[in-house]
Amino acid sequence: MAALAKDKPIDEAALKKRAAIIRGRVIEMCHAASSAHLGSSLSCIDVLTAAYWHVLKIDPKAPADPLRDRFILSKGHAAMAIYATLAMRGYFPEEELHTYNQDNGRLAEHPPANLLPGVEAATGSLGHGLPIGIGMAVAGRIKNQVYRVYALLSDGENNEGSVWEAAMFASAQKLENLCVIVDYNKWQATARSNETLMLAPLADKWRAFGWDAHEIDGHDVGALAKAMSNIPNGSGKPVALIAHTVKGKGVSFMEDDNNWHYRAPTAEEVVKAKKELGLS
């Protein structure tokens, strides 16, 4: 367990800087490709940054290492965020980000299966990533391999029944090496989450399903890095981090405005957004 390096010092300033750079890159990608899901991508970038630059025991040069930690972007519509993250982390060249959503590329609007290094599972249909991740976690137990599995879910994704099937299964199986992070940005595609299907009280729901659930500021990279590193946490249960986030986080005119679920920024808006992010 020492190999999991729970106590590595957290370089919060570096993580914040990295998150800003990823946000800028994602905004450029969205503009170039005119694709949807910018708001959803921006809300989870601090989680991805903490995971990939602090928490995960991974080697981008050995993406199939059987002992690696697994991170599944179950909210596959945040593909831009995971692509930028994986590229900057060294899984594939950053130049390839220019091919996002272009003809004949590997970077479609949802992450593909068996095509791009670092993508653990093809997602995009919601409610699939957690069961797959659970299968990976159980496989580790069967094969006596020590690794951890993380699944990042959207709040809208919690509408899917399969999430709750999986939640009950994971707790019955006492999968303490498993961690769910819910990107709780309070919006789904076309409406406020809690006006669509009642998620609240979301942490209590996960707790009632047998998880060790905690609420956390989903933009506090230091807190995220600490909480996500502390897996397993001694509770004997799978861990759910209900990450309170802001859709469109980081850009004032995108924050908590659900139009950015679908719309892409203009060239002028890209400049303005990058300036706000402290990027030139």
Partner 1 sequence: MRNAFADELTKLGNDDPRIVMLSGDIGNKLFDKFKAAHPTRFINCGVAEQNMTGVAAGMAMSGLRPVTYTITPFVTTRCLEQIRTDAAYHEAPVTIVSVGAGLAYAGLGPTHHACEDIAFLRAIPNMVVIAPGDAWEVRAALRAVMKQDKPAYIRMGKKGEPQVHKGIPENFEIGKAITIAEGSDICILSTGNMLPEAVEAGRLLGGGGHAHTARVVSFHTVKPLDEDCLREAFTNFPLVVTCEEHSRIGGLGSAVAEWASDNGHDARRLLRIGTPDKFFKLSGEQEFAREQLGLTGHQIAHTIHARMHHHH
- Residues lying near partner 1 in the complex (CB under 8 A): 66, 113-114, 120-122, 125, 127-128, 130-143, 161-162, 165-166, 168-169, 172-173
Supply the DSSP symbol for 254: T
Q: Which is nearer to partner 1, 32 or 138 (CB)?
A: 138
Q: Which token pair is 94? A: 């950053």
Residue with tokens 């502390």, as numbered in its chain: 230
Q: Which is nearer to partner 1, 78 or 132 (CB)?
A: 132
Q: Which of 137, 181, 186 is nearest to 45 (CA)?
A: 181
- Residues ≥6 apart with Cβ < 8 Å to 204: 213
Write down the H helix ranges in 72-144: 79-89, 129-142
- Residues ≥6 apart with Cβ < 8 Å to 276: 250, 251, 252
Closest CB 131 distance from partner 1, rounded Å: 3
Q: Which token pair is 194? A: 């809690």
How far is it, in rounded angstroms, from Cα 45 to Cα 218? 9
Closest CB 277 distance from partner 1, rounded Å: 35
Q: Which is nearer to partner 1, 47 or 149 (CB)?
A: 149
Helices vs strands, H then E, count in the chain = 10, 5
Find out whether 209 and 167 touch, Cβ atoms under 8 Å: yes
Q: Which is nearer to partner 1, 127 or 248 (CB)?
A: 127
Q: Which is nearer to partner 1, 133 or 248 (CB)?
A: 133
One-letter amino acid at 235 equals: S
Q: Which is nearer to partner 1, 22 or 163 (CB)?
A: 163
Supply the DSSP symbol for 122: -
Q: Which is nearer to partner 1, 5 or 67 (CB)?
A: 67
Closest CB 147 distance from partner 1, rounded Å: 9
Taking phi over 0 as left and psi of -120 to 50 as alpha, with beta for the rest, 92 belongs to beta
Closest CB 126 distance from partner 1, rounded Å: 11
Closest CB 157 distance from partner 1, rounded Å: 13
Closest CB 71 distance from partner 1, rounded Å: 13
Closest CB 56 distance from partner 1, rounded Å: 16
Beta bridge partners of 178: 149
What is the CB neighbour count within 10 angstroms for residue 62? Answer: 11
Closest CB 194 distance from partner 1, rounded Å: 24
Q: Which is nearer to partner 1, 58 or 273 (CB)?
A: 58
How far is it, in rounded angstroms, from Cα 166 to Cα 225? 25
